[in-house]
């Protein structure tokens, strides 16, 4: 089961357009169950999540944890989808506070068939 993990440091009131850019799993090579966990070091971080043509989250708050603490499976993995081969995973983050934020993102992929 491949896992994508990234620590994103956001500027105050900043936006990260797609956390998945540069990953070999940005475009899925096979059909997969996708599970996504996101944790920020403070309130005010919003996520928009797309898996292919499916919208999993339309700008909603993420889990709040201590700084540099990864999302815990399965408790913090709030978004899941069955994605097709070639689907693009897009995770956009936006900070609504006036302070820099640290966000931990984990994507778990389980190949289907």
Q: Please give the structure tokens belonging to residue 26.
A: 């940005």
Give DSSP secondary structure letters for 17-54. Answer: S-TTTT-TTSB-SS-EEEEEEEEESSTTEEEEEEETTE
Q: What is the pTM of this model?
A: 0.95
> pLDDT tens-digit profile of 1-53?
899 999 999 999 999 999 999 999 999 999 999 999 999 999 999 999 999 99
Tokens 């995770």 — which residue? 91
CB atoms inside a 10 Å sphere around CB 52: 18
Q: Does domain 3-111 have CATH number 2.60.120.680?
A: yes
Q: Please give the structure tokens belonging to residue 19.
A: 């956390």
> pLDDT tens-digit profile of 42-73?
999 999 999 999 999 999 999 999 988 999 99
Quote the CA–CA distance of 50 and 38 in Å, as a whole number: 14
């Amino acid at each position: 089961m491949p896992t994508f993990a990234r620590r994103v440091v956001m500027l105050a009131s900043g936006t990260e357009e797609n956390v998945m850019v540069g990953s070999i799993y940005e475009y899925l090579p096979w059909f997969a169950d996708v599970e996504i966990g996101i944790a920020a070091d403070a309130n005010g971080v919003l996520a928009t999540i797309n898996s292919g043509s499916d919208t999993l989250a339309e700008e909603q708050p993420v889990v709040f944890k201590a700084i540099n603490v990864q999302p815990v499976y399965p408790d913090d993995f709030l978004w899941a989808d069955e994605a097709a081969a070639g689907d693009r995973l897009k995770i956009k983050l936006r900070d609504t506070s006036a302070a820099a934020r640290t966000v931990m993102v984990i994507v778990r992929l389980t190949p289907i068939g």
